[in-house]
Structure 1
Amino acid sequence: MCVGKQSVKLGYLFAAGLCVVAMSGCTPGPAYVRPSVSVPVHYKESASPQGWVTARPGDAADRGNWWQVFADPVLDKLEARVDAGNQTIQKSLADMRQARAQIGVARSSYFPQVTAGADANINHTSKDLVGHSLAGRTVQDYSMGVTATWEPDLFDRIGHAVDAANARAQASEADLASVSLSMHAELALDYVDLRQIDAEAALLKQLVDNYVQAKQLVQTQFDGGIASESELQQAQTQLQVAKAQLIDLGEARAQREHAIAVLMGVAPTDFSLAPVDHSLPLPEIPAGLPSTLLQRRPDIAAAERRVAAANADVGEATSAFFPDLMLSATGGLEASHFAQWAMLPSRFWAIGPALVGTLFDGGRRHAQLSAAEARRDAAAADYRQTVLGAFQEVEDKLASLHVLADEAVAQQRAVDASSRAAQLAMTRYQDGATDYLEVVTTQSVNLAQTRALVELSRRRFAADVGLIKALGGVW
């Protein structure tokens, strides 16, 4: 009779298990759909808007050595050292390895968990226990066994966790690409600044030489009684101001040099760059850039992958509303003496399924599901904002390039005009037609306009690097 009742219980449990397995054919949780985002047909600041298509994340594309567009072998060598030496990149690389390891952690739940253990107990029971068979006796218990448990993923709870881990690992890979792009771009900007400082220093050195010659001319005329002492002091002042401006450039150059060293993972003490007397060629970046290049932006890919991970979290929270089926088996040896372990009666085992479901939790699962849905909505908003910000960055850099190119033409005309005025003023002074104040004034204007042209060139280089970065590393 006892056996019959046990069989009936096992039958009910088996039938319940079959029902659960039948229900497991459905996967709870929302299917992932990439968040929609409004994408313009073309860039407003692009001179050639034809051929644009909707941008989609594509951070796996090879960005290449985009800095080679500047045609500077020194810059190429410096950039080649960034990936291996930059500590920010190394940290991001470690974060990526950690995210990949979490995939293995999530996948491990697919497999049974097997544990083994041994136990030795000596227990003495009180004699004052009434009706106890072991009262006043000392009992030794030695056991050793193996336990295996397995939870079939009936409602895709583990599957959602694995999907979330995969998406977060992909987001971490995109983060690494984004950090690498930023570090390379930052080094390029610092290098461009340094070379522009060198160009400005070469300009000031030439002006110092010119001012030395001019002072010597005034000194000669002063000695001859033609020029006044005031004119001599004006020439001296102009010369010393130019020398002071040349010396002042040393601070900015040292800071750029130190920044480049740190970006490569090198102590500033152990790094230096020799000055050059030529400027970098300004690369020409096409204005008509297809929007497919936004696929190369790793920050967009990372934001999209985080939406996918948050959506998988919603699925995992939904799976918590369904029961769990646990399969377990235990077996081993247990006896009061070690010698009895080898005997057949010392064996023990147990096997059986368990179906567990939560009937009441005070609304905890509903709250967890609501929180997961809110995190998904927040991630979707971050993704849309990242896409909009990407378009803004490209528009800004395209506008900068167009405006600065036009400004450079006008500024070059201003330099040419001020240079001609300075030459005419010097000629008039040598002919005795004017005093040296006019020379000083025109030369000061020419210096200011020439330095403004150098600064404008630096801004155009920075806009070029910024556009390349905004497009994900290449056009």
Structure 2
Amino acid sequence: MRHTFAELFAPAIVLVFSSGCTVGPKYQRASVPTPANWETPQPWRPSDPKDTVPKGEWWKAFHEDQLEALEAKALDANQTLKAAVARYAQARALTSQAISALHPQMNVAPLAQRQRLSGNRPTSGVPITLRPVTQNSFTLPFTVSYEVDLFGGRRRNIEASEASLQAGAADLENVRLVITAEMASDYFTLRQLDSELAILDRTVATLDKGLQLVTARHEGGIASGLDVAQEETLLRTTQTQATLLHQQRDQFEHAIAVLAGQPVPGFHVTTQELSGEPPALDAGLPSDLLERRPDVAEAERQMAAANAQIGVARSAYFPSLNLFGNGGWLSGDVTKLLNVSSAVWAVGATAAEAIFTGGARRAQVKFAQAGYDAAVANYHETALNAFREVEDDLTGLSILNDAKTTQQQAVAAARRAVDIASDRYTGGLVSYLDVVSAQQTLLSNEQQLAAIQGERLVTSVLLIKALGGGWDASSLATARIKPTIKQALQP
């Protein structure tokens, strides 16, 4: 049996065209110096399997109903988060655009024209008699073209696009983590201010009663005018502190409104003192952090995209091969346009290779390699900052826990001092200055304790954020687009 050349070699040709080779370096994740353990011991107690950061809605670990409602508003209406969602949609569209290069392109360009040919048109040396001619021309052509990816330039471009898509998915998760962490931090700072305001209100009430008592004693000739002035000075100073603290509270309330995507006028958060404790957490090992931080994952995916761009640049050194096919109908009579005799077709292939480019290709490769080096440096920097943030927050929580214990003892001692000074003043043993001094010390220590309690909660939020908020890099595997036949038929 005789076979034509095409029949014998068509399978091999198809195999070469479909597989080809892929130029450029194979991607390997750059290594990062990673400590074996955290230097600061974890502050609460030995870790328990239940102490892992909750997946997704990590803020529920604080058991604050109002915080959960605010977080829900932020996830639904925060404008920065909506912009991140739109950027991710753009990344998906760009990836689909890159994948479209795997499919043949088909075009149609119908033409209908009437033209007059010159009676003096050139005859290419053929001795014929010419005269002006007016004629119609109707064409219904179809063109199919396909660039064979022999050296992997398009595949590298798709690889870069998919890595950028996954970087976009990580960026979206990082923005979501930053927004929710900022909301929680502002919320607990607001609660800290509420606690401080409550302390000031209680102190004002106590000082007002004290002023009435001293005034009555002064009018009875028992206390001096100096005692009255000292008590009134402390009362007015405390009222001033409360007024200024209300301004700070308003500013944090306004910040929460913006995070929740709400207009500031008319937005209010009800007053509530601090009551909760930071949840117990397990920081895990430093090596785990590289898979738990969305910003680290984003930097790693950007590094992979930059590596693929080197292959795209190197593929320009190799020739391109384009396959094409044309077909359609051509006729001078529209009624005969679709006749079999009006059919036209052509098939072929073109190969092209740039010989001299003035160093443009070499410059493009150097540009891509420099971009990869920059991405590696950015990845290292992001990972090192991640280690620093976790270590800072672990240290901060350990110190704040110790500070809370000693400050609670200081508040208890200050309250005893106020009671003793008041009793001694009533007994005529000391001047009222001792009472005023004890009251000032108590107020300062109570405010400091409220600040420490607020800082513990805020620092625990920052630690959860530094640990990635329960996120895991394995979720990026779903952020990809597979080429389909349906896509090939889309416009």
- TM, length-normalised to structure 1: 0.89
**Residue matched to 2:146:** 150
Query: Cα distance, 1:410 vs. partner?
Result: 2.6
Which of 64, 79, 95 is equivalent to 1:103?
Answer: 95
2:141 maps to amino acid: G
**Residue matched to 1:3:** none
Q: Does residue 62 of structure 2 align to residue 70 of structure 1?
A: yes
Query: Cα distance, 1:299 vs. partner?
Result: 0.5
**Residue matched to 1:55:** none
Structure 2 spans left out of the alignment, 5+ residues = 48-52, 472-491
Please give the residue correspondences for 1:76-95 in structure 2 after superposition, counting only pairs within 5 Å. 76-95=68-87
Say whether the 8 Å CA contact 2:17–2:148 is kept in structure 1: no
Q: Go from structure 1 to structure 2 and tell me whether the alpha carbon gap of 1:226 and 1:23 turns closer, same or farther (over 3 Å shift).
A: closer
Q: Secondary structure at the match of 2:430?
A: coil
Moved more, 438-447 or 128-137: 128-137
Q: Does residue 451 of structure 2 align to residue 459 of structure 1?
A: no
Q: Go from structure 1 to structure 2 and tell me whether the alpha carbon gap of 1:341 and 1:152 turns closer, same or farther (over 3 Å shift).
A: same
**Residue matched to 2:424:** 428
2:74 maps to amino acid: V
Query: Cα distance, 1:286 vs. partner?
Result: 4.4
Say whether the 8 Å CA contact 1:330–1:350 is kept in structure 2: yes
Q: Go from structure 1 to structure 2 and tell me whether the alpha carbon gap of 1:47 and 1:143 turns closer, same or farther (over 3 Å shift).
A: closer
**Residue matched to 2:25:** 30
Q: Secondary structure at the match of 1:306?
A: helix
Which of 399, 404, 408 is equivalent to 1:403?
Answer: 399
Q: Secondary structure at the match of 2:148?
A: coil
Moved more, 282-291 or 388-397: 282-291
Moved more, 382-391 or 456-465: 456-465
Q: What CA distance in whole angstroms lies between the structure 1 residues aligned with 2:23 and 2:214?
A: 91
Q: Go from structure 1 to structure 2 and tell me whether the alpha carbon gap of 1:377 and 1:130 turns closer, same or farther (over 3 Å shift).
A: closer
Q: CA RMSD in A?
A: 2.6
Q: Secondary structure at the match of 2:110?
A: strand
1:224 maps to amino acid: G
Query: Cα distance, 1:413 vs. partner?
Result: 2.7
Say whether the 8 Å CA contact 1:425–1:438 is kept in structure 2: yes
Query: Cα distance, 1:280 vs. partner?
Result: 2.8
Query: Cα distance, 1:258 vs. partner?
Result: 1.7
Which of 161, 167, 189 is equivalent to 1:165?
Answer: 161
Q: What CA distance in whole angstroms lies between the structure 1 residues aligned with 2:276 and 2:120?
A: 100
Q: Go from structure 1 to structure 2 and tell me whether the alpha carbon gap of 1:414 and 1:128 turns closer, same or farther (over 3 Å shift).
A: same
Q: Go from structure 1 to structure 2 and tell me whether the alpha carbon gap of 1:177 and 1:320 turns closer, same or farther (over 3 Å shift).
A: same
Q: Does residue 333 of structure 2 align to residue 337 of structure 1?
A: yes
Q: Secondary structure at the match of 1:371?
A: helix
Q: Secondary structure at the match of 1:211?
A: helix
Q: Secondary structure at the match of 1:328?
A: strand
**Residue matched to 1:251:** 247
Query: Cα distance, 1:199 vs. partner?
Result: 0.8
Q: Does residue 319 of structure 2 align to residue 323 of structure 1?
A: yes
Q: What CA distance in whole angstroms lies between the structure 2 residues aligned with 1:401 and 1:371?
A: 45
**Residue matched to 1:279:** 274
Q: What CA distance in whole angstroms lies between the structure 1 residues aligned with 2:328 and 2:284?
A: 71
Please give the residue correspondences for 1:34-49 in structure 2 after superposition, counting only pairs within 5 Å. 34-47=29-42
1:122 maps to amino acid: R
Say whether the 8 Å CA contact 2:152–2:315 is kept in structure 1: yes
Query: Cα distance, 1:418 vs. partner?
Result: 2.5
2:453 maps to amino acid: S
Query: Cα distance, 1:143 vs. partner?
Result: 1.4
Say whether the 8 Å CA contact 1:331–1:348 is kept in structure 2: yes
Q: What CA distance in whole angstroms lies between the structure 2 residues aligned with 1:130 and 1:104?
A: 50
Please give the residue correspondences for 1:302-451 in structure 2 after superposition, counting only pairs within 5 Å. 302-451=298-447
Q: What CA distance in whole angstroms lies between the structure 2 residues aligned with 1:393 and 1:438?
A: 45
Say whether the 8 Å CA contact 2:290–2:297 is kept in structure 1: no
Q: Secondary structure at the match of 2:268?
A: coil
Q: What CA distance in whole angstroms lies between the structure 2 residues aligned with 1:451 and 1:23?
A: 72
**Residue matched to 1:58:** none
Query: Cα distance, 1:140 vs. partner?
Result: 2.8
Say whether the 8 Å CA contact 1:287–1:398 is kept in structure 2: no
Q: Secondary structure at the match of 1:353?
A: strand
**Residue matched to 1:6:** none
Q: Go from structure 1 to structure 2 and tell me whether the alpha carbon gap of 1:439 and 1:62 turns closer, same or farther (over 3 Å shift).
A: closer
Please give the residue correspondences for 1:222-241 in structure 2 after superposition, counting only pairs within 5 Å. 222-241=218-237
Say whether the 8 Å CA contact 1:128–1:135 is kept in structure 2: yes
Structure 1 spans left out of the alignment, 5+ residues = 1-9, 53-60
Query: Cα distance, 1:415 vs. partner?
Result: 2.3
Aligned residues: 452
Q: Go from structure 1 to structure 2 and tell me whether the alpha carbon gap of 1:22 and 1:73 turns closer, same or farther (over 3 Å shift).
A: closer
- TM, length-normalised to structure 2: 0.86
1:37 maps to amino acid: V
Say whether the 8 Å CA contact 1:411–1:453 is kept in structure 2: yes
4+ aligned runs moved over 6 Å, structure 1: none
1:38 maps to amino acid: P
